[in-house]
Structure 1
Amino acid sequence: MTESNKLKIFNDPIYGFIRIPNTLIFDLIAHPYFQRLRRISQMGLSYLVYPGAHHTRFHHALGSMYLMQKAIQVLRFKDVDISKEEEEGLLCAILLHDIGHGPFSHAMENSIVEGVHHEHISLLFMEELNQRFNGSLTVAIAIFQGKHPKKFLNQLVSSQLDMDRMDYLKRDSFYTGVAEGNVNAERLITMLTVVNGALVVEEKGTYSVEKFLMARRFMYWQVYLHKTGIVAEQLLIRILKRAKELLKDGVDLSCSDALRFFMTHKISEANFDTSVLEQFSKLDDVDILAAIKLWQSHTDLVLSRLCQMVLNRQLLKIKLKNKPIGNVVFEKHFKQIKSKYNLSDAEAGYFVFRGIIENRAYNADRQNINILRKNGKITDVAKASDHLNLKALSKTVTKYYMCFPKDSV
């Protein structure tokens, strides 16, 4: 009788009711490692641009699981063999695929730890949970790593047309109010099938895939790589960098124990052990925001000013160009700020800096999207489509930016 109490439902604003299919999924969701995702923003500081974008990784994980349930249902209807064990593995893998994200998701991926991708940390969490759940996640881990003999299982979790992407595009579009990013995930899932062990899309779904790729391109340039969002993320990264420098110099800074651990230890893949994982599991957006609120009145001009910029949304000005920004323009702003506030070169570098952003909406070289034609042939979507834009979407677009204080204009 106690087990039936675990088969609960969530009311999701995107899909309606999401059912928890079994007790293992319930216990994973109830675990503190997963509950932490309620305190990790899905879109970093994008709410400074789109006020509604306050949804979390918790929302996204549940939504991705819901879409996976739909995909399993559709594929089984088309006589694709998915055992009960593989079904549970798929649901666990997609539920936990983002559990390794740190505070503000991608914004601080290389600030808290150095060169450790969130997918690697997700795997560490899954392996730790697998021990605690007596090997229940062994199949899920094999699927997540792409080591399962059935290739299409991994493609459902991690590919260019996976349940992760379908949910975040639809969800982020909803919460930002950017309607152009909305994709018909249910329609796309209905068009999926498996040929020779690989995931493909039936030919009648070609236009749906086109819409999906166009929506992805739009969301990247309009939302994820929005210039104001870029400035906010860069300021966040620089706040942590400055705080680390001050701590190294013996300056006292108040913050949570978990945050202090990562600011005073150099953590890489090589030394990311179980004890580090436990510290990481205690870290979320709250630690960062609480620290920023404390540091806004710190005696260090650089740290306090950076914190005030983020808290009060008084951000740096940003110029976004298709060509690299010249040294003459850069030096002009750099020298002006350095002189005005009597800063060293290193200090001025926190307020005047350049960078590059890149995006490719469709990568034909890595787990491409294949279309199953009516004659049985398999064709890459870029070739199957009569839409000229799809070939353009396969090319990497590079843009260059420069940030500087508005009073140096």
Structure 2
Amino acid sequence: MRYRNKLKIINDPIYGFIHIPSSLVFDIIEHPYFQRLRRINQMGLSHLVFPGAKHTRFEHVLGCMFLMQKTVEMLRFKGVEISNKEAEGLYIAILLHDIGHGPFSHAMEHSIVEEISHEEISLRFMQQLNAEMGGKLETAIRIFQGNYPRKFMHQLISSQLDMDRADYLKRDSFYTGVAEGNINSERLISMLNVRNDELVVEEKGLYSVEKFLIARRLMYWQVYLHKTSVAAEQMLIRLLKRAKSLVQEGQLLTMSTALAFFVSHKIDNANFSEEVLDKFALLDDTDIIAAMKEWQFHSDVVLSQLSRMLLNRDLLKMKLCSTNFEEQKVKRLQKIAALGGIPSEFIDYFVFTGTMYNRAYTPEQDPIKILAKNGRVIEVSKTAEEVSLGALSQPTQKYYICYPK
């Protein structure tokens, strides 16, 4: 049998060279489940606003693993004991934390399947990989689920200051060109420590944490919740809803076998079997794009029009407001849409309202803690008068209405 070198190096535009730490990690990266992430856009439909935002989930999770490697190295330097088995578990857990994303990431999270989050699907993928690889992912799964006895390890995977956020803010800032999100992730990592089995930030890293939270807030309003991106995502959700409705009526739609399965079946947590998992693993952005290219010529006005609008970036207009829109205004826009040729029974596909929500920091849920010079551990918003995190912990809600131009 020919020997294969598994100690590969990947050149990343954000961090430079990323080393694959073990043969097990290499085997996971080579698996078709993982390679599928190359075909899933990290930022959904944001490239319709920021043309450079075409990076994938594959790049993101490799970046997360790189930051985790740096974190393990830093914590060990500070005297935190992390065994090689635990380190590998951390690398695998962060590498696979997003493997459950469907086409266009968050845009279609509850459209392809219902009442099951991408985190739950990620866990199912991990369990399947664990079975295929002889139980070698047990530690990673326990860390991912929060069942491992060392709490700080789960916090590195999922918390308000985890490696996921540390990578996506920096990476998404780079690819969109929105400089406000460009955090110093390596500076943050150098300030991390562990006290009482919890992740803490040393006091001298206080302003780096504030910058991190401000960057997250700004990136949400400027990028992730950009009104054009949200309009496109809502149109995509309605497109799939219409496709499901037509299939239920007995119409035949041209699409891939994998997409056809999820369009013709209601899949939720109760019936998400191993067979369904394998079908889900065949789905990616290309299934949706190929379907839209066919559906734009369909006789159904909703299916064809939404497909053409998305393919040609002729999107619905979105208006934002701090209060909910009056029913009279909604009806007026619906009447205008009807005059424009949209049948009255389909108006809701083209004129609709909704809400956006943003909260950069939630002190009530696994708060970020600061390790003071005197050894005390303090929640970040209670550290000093100079650091104002009040606005960042306040929830902000905006109302929107979408309608044809």
1:243 corresponds to which residue? 243
Residue 88 (structure 1) aligned with residue 88 (structure 2)? yes
**1:38-77 counterparts in 2 under 5 A?**
38-77=38-77
CA distance in 2, matches of 1:243, 1:390: 45
In the comparison of the two structures, how many residue pairs are matched?
Answer: 405
| Between 387-396 and 135-144, the greater mean CA deviation after superposition | 387-396
How many Å separate the matches in 2 of 1:366 and 1:263?
Answer: 36
Q: Percent identity?
A: 61
Residues 164-212 of structure 1: per-residue CA shift (max 9 Å, x gap): 1000000000000001100000000000000000000000000000000
Equivalence for 1:399: 398
Structure 1 gaps, min length 5? none
Partner of 1:290: 290
Task: Describe the shift of the 1:141–1:155 C-alpha distance in structure 2 as closer, same or farther (beyond 3 A).
Answer: same
Distance in 2 of aligned mates of 1:241 and 1:180: 35
Q: Is structure 2 residue 258 aligned with structure 1 residue 258?
A: yes
Answer yes or no: is 1:361 the counterpart of 2:357.
no
**Using the alignment, how far apart are the partners of 2:4 and 2:404 within structure 1?**
58
Find the aligned partners of 1:47 and 1:101 in 2 and give their Cα distance.
18
For residues 87-120 of structure 1, give each alpha carbon's deviation from its aligned partner in whole angstroms, at most 9, with x where no partner exists.
0100000000000000000000010001110000
Distance 1:350 1:337, change over 3 A: same
Match of 2:149 in 1: 149
Distance in 1 (alpha carbons) for counterparts of 2:4 and 2:361: 43
Aligned partners of 1:316, 1:187: CA distance in 2, in Å?
Answer: 41
Question: Is residue 181–residue 218 contact of structure 2 (8 Å, CA) maintained in 1?
Answer: yes
Q: What's the TM-score, normalizing by structure 2? A: 0.98
Are residues 330 and 316 of structure 1, via their aligned partners in 2, closer, same or farther at CA, if it must alter by over 3 Å?
same
| Residue 279 (structure 2) aligns with | 279
Distance 2:216 2:286 in 1: 29
Counterpart residue identity of residue 360, structure 2: A
Q: Comparing 3-12 with 53-62, which one deviates more in the overlay?
A: 3-12
Q: Residue 311 of structure 1 corresponds to which residue in structure 2?
A: 311
- What's the CA shift for 1:251? 1.3
Mapped contact 1:206–1:385 kept (Cα < 8 A): no
Secondary structure, aligned partner of 1:367: coil
Look up the match of 1:371.
Answer: 370
1:351 and 2:350 equivalent? Answer: yes
- Structure 1 residues 399 and 269: CA distance shift in structure 2, 3 A: same
- Counterpart code for 1:368: P
Q: Match of 1:185?
A: 185
CA contact (8 A) 2:61 2:96 kept: yes
Query: For 1:344 and 1:323, how far apart are their aligned partners in 2?
Result: 27
1:71 partner amino acid:
T
Corresponding position of 2:209 = 209
Q: Within the alignment, does 1:31 sit opposite 2:31 as a pair?
A: yes
Counterpart residue number, 1:268: 268
The letter for the 2-side match of 1:27 is D
Structure 2 unmatched ranges of 5 or more: none
CA distance in 1: counterparts of 2:275 and 2:335, whole angstroms: 45
Contact kept, 8 Å, 2:207 with 2:387, in 1: the verdict is no
Which whole-Å CA distance do the structure 1 matches of 2:222 and 2:403 have between them? 21
Which letter does structure 2 place at the counterpart of 1:349?
D
How far residue 386 of structure 1 moved from its aligned partner, in angstroms, is 3.1
Q: SS of the residue aligned with 1:354?
A: strand
Offset at 1:387?
A: 4.6
Does the 8 Å CA contact 1:3/1:23 hold for their aligned counterparts?
A: no
CA contact (8 A) 2:210 2:387 kept: no
Q: Using a 3 Å threshold, how does the CA distance of structure 1 residues 4 and 287 change in structure 2: closer, same or farther?
A: closer
Q: Deviations over 1:281-329 (max 9, x none)?
A: 0000000000011101111111111011111111111101111111111
* Residues 304 and 201 of structure 1, relative CA distance in 2, 3 Å threshold: same
CA–CA separation in structure 2 for the residues paired with 1:58 and 1:77:
29
The answer on whether the counterparts of 1:46 and 1:53 sit within 8 Å (CA) in structure 2 is yes
Aligned residue in 2 for 1:128: 128
CA distance change for structure 1 residues 385 and 104 in 2, over 3 Å: closer, same or farther? farther
Query: Which runs of at least 4 in structure 1 moved beyond 6 Å after TM superposition?
Result: 1-4
CA 209–3 in structure 1, closer or farther in 2 if over 3 Å, else same: farther
C-alpha separation in 1, matches of 2:357 and 2:342: 34
Q: Give the C-alpha shift of residue 336 in structure 1.
A: 2.2
SS of equivalent residue, structure 2 residue 294: helix
* TM-score for the superposition, normalised by structure 1: 0.97
Q: Is the 2:325–2:399 Cα contact (8 Å) retained in structure 1? A: yes
- Measured in 1, the distance between the counterparts of 2:68 and 2:295 equals 43
Q: CA deviation at 1:369?
A: 0.3
